[in-house]
C-alpha cells in the first residue's frame, strides 16, 4: 500500500495556518498544484552542516572529524543550490563556513566532554492512519550511566528559543512515540541543545589600548584583557556579557501519558491532512504578525486567484501526496 509521508513540519504548518499549508503542499486554492517560490538565490543551510559537525563530535570526540563531516554536508548544499539553478554568493559562503568553524571551536573548548552518541540520523517511518505515515529523523541517541535510552536533538539558531517554548514543543515527544512503535524501546527522555550561530568576537580595544565598553567576546576574554591592561572592568559590560547565552541544553523527561498523547495528536493531524488532500475541507486563514512576516505566500494568500502574479512569483509543483508516493511508493 502506498503511503503519503507526513513530517513534523507539515503538522505544524497545517495547524498554524491552513492556507499556508494548502499553498505549499496541496494547492486546492490554486488549481490543484502547490507553489514554490521562484528565486535565483538560495541561502546555505548552515543548520545542516552544523548538525553534521555536532553529531560527529558527540559520536567520536574528534573535532577534525566533525569539521570534515560539516564540510561534506556544506558541499552537498552547494551542489543542491547549483542543481536548482541558484547563484552561489562566494562572500556568504566563506562567512557561513568561517562561522561554523569558529562556533565549533568555541563549543569544543567550552564543552569538551562529548555525549557518546551510539547512533545518528536515525530514520523513523511509522503509520499514523490508513495511507499516512510519519517520517522523521532523530539527530542522535545515547545511553546514560544506567543504560537508559535518550534522544538528542541539535539546533543552530540565530536566536535561542525560550525555555518555556522548548518545553512546549511536541517534536521530541512525537519522536519518542514513533521510536517505541518502530524499535520497541521507550526513550526515557530527550536532550534538546541549541547553539547560537554566532562565534564570540575578539576583544575590542579603544585607541588608548584599554578594552572597549561594547563587546561581543566572552566574559572570560574581556576580564583577561582588563587584567592585562590594568583596567577596571565596567560593571555594565560584565553584566551584558554574563547575560549573553551562546548555548543551552534542555533536558526533557518523558511520561507515558505524554508520549501517548503526542501519538494521538499526530494521528488526528494526519486525518486533518487527509481531508485537505481529498478536498473535503476548504483551507482557513489564520493570520498573525509572527507567522505572516516570514511566510513565502504573504503576497498572494488573501486572494490567490491572480494567475499572472502567482506565475511570476512561484513555480507550480506536484502536490505533496504525489511527490511522496513517487518517493516511497
**In this structure, what is the dihedral angle of CA atoms 149, 151, 152, 155, given to the nearest 10 degrees?**
-170
Stretch (H or E) spanning 225 = helix 219-228
| pLDDT, position 1 | 61
Secondary structure (DSSP) of 30-94 = GTT--EEE--SB----HHHHHHHHHHHHHHH--HHHHHHHHHHHHHHHHHHHHHTT-B--HHHHH
| pLDDT, position 329 | 46
| pLDDT, position 326 | 58
Q: What are the cell numbers at 200?
A: 564570540
| pLDDT, position 37 | 86
Nearest in space to 140 (alpha carbons), one of 77, 253, 53, 198: 53
Sign of the torsion formed by the C-alpha atoms of 314, 318, 324 and 326: negative
List, for the chain, all residue ranges whose pLDDT scores fall below the cut of 50: 329
Beta strands, E only, 101-230: 119-129, 132-143, 149-157, 189-196
Q: CB neighbours of 215 closer than 8 A, spacing ≥ 6?
A: 201, 203, 204, 222, 237, 240, 241
For 17-40, write each residue's pLDDT tens digit: 999 999 999 999 999 899 988 876
Q: What are the cell numbers at 183?
A: 524499535
| pLDDT, position 305 | 84
Q: How far apart, in whole angstroms, are the C-alpha atoms of residue 197 and residue 99?
A: 7
| pLDDT, position 323 | 63
Q: How far apart, in whole angstroms, are the C-alpha atoms of residue 256 and residue 66?
A: 35
Q: How far apart, in whole angstroms, are the C-alpha atoms of residue 78 and residue 185?
A: 38
Residue appearing with cell numbers 536548482: 84
In three-state secondary structure terms, 182 is helix
Nearest in space to 78 (alpha carbons), one of 123, 113, 48, 34: 48
Nearest in space to 293 (alpha carbons), one of 14, 41, 20, 11: 20
| pLDDT, position 114 | 94
Largest CA distance in the chain: 74
Q: How far apart, in whole angstroms, are the C-alpha atoms of residue 158 and residue 147?
A: 34
Residue length of the chain: 329
Mark 38-61 as b/e (b = at least 16 C-beta within 10 Å).
eeeebebbbebbbbbbbbbbbbee
Amino acid at each position: 500500500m502506498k503511503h503519503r509521508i507526513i513530517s513534523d513540519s507539515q503538522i505544524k504548518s497545517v495547524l498554524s495556518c491552513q492556507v499556508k499549508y494548502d499553498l505549499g503542499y496541496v494547492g486546492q486554492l490554486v488549481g490543484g498544484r502547490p507553489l514554490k517560490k521562484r528565486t535565483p538565490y538560495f541561502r546555505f543551510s548552515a543548520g545542516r552542516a552544523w548538525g553534521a559537525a555536532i553529531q560527529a563530535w558527540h559520536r567520536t570526540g574528534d573535532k577534525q572529524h566533525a569539521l570534515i563531516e560539516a564540510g561534506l554536508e556544506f558541499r552537498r548544499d552547494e551542489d543542491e543550490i547549483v542543481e536548482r539553478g541558484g547563484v552561489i554568493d562566494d562572500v556568504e559562503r566563506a562567512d557561513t563556513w568561517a562561522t561554523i568553524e569558529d562556533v565549533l571551536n568555541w563549543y569544543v573548548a567550552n564543552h569538551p566532554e562529548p555525549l557518546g552518541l551510539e547512533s545518528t540520523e536515525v530514520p523513523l517511518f511509522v503509520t499514523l492512519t490508513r495511507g499516512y505515515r510519519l517520517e522523521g529523523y532523530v539527530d542522535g541517541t545515547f545511553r546514560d550511566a544506567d543504560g537508559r535510552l535518550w534522544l538528542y536533538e541539535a539546533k543552530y539558531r540565530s536566536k535561542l528559543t525560550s525555555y518555556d517554548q522548548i518545553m512546549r514543543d511536541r517534536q521530541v515527544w512525537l519522536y519518542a512515540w514513533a521510536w517505541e512503535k518502530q524499535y520497541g524501546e521507550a526513550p526515557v527522555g530527550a536532550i534538546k541543545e541549541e547553539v547560537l550561530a554566532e562565534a564570540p568576537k575578539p576583544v575590542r580595544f579603544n585607541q588608548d589600548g584599554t578594552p572597549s565598553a561594547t563587546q561581543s567576546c566572552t566574559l572570560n576574554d574581556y576580564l583577561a584583557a582588563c587584567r592585562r591592561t590594568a583596567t577596571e572592568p565596567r560593571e555594565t559590560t560584565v553584566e551584558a556579557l554574563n547575560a549573553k547565552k551562546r548555548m543551552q541544553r534542555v533536558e526533557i523527561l518523558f511520561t507515558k501519558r505524554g508520549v501517548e498523547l503526542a501519538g494521538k495528536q499526530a494521528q488526528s493531524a494526519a486525518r486533518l491532512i487527509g481531508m485537505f488532500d481529498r478536498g473535503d475541507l476548504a483551507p482557513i486563514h489564520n493570520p498573525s504578525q509572527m507567522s505572516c512576516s516570514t511566510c513565502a505566500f504573504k503576497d498572494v494568500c488573501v486572494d490567490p486567484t491572480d494567475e499572472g502574479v502567482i506565475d511570476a512569483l512561484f513555480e507550480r509543483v506536484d502536490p505533496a501526496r504525489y511527490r511522496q508516493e513517487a518517493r516511497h511508493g
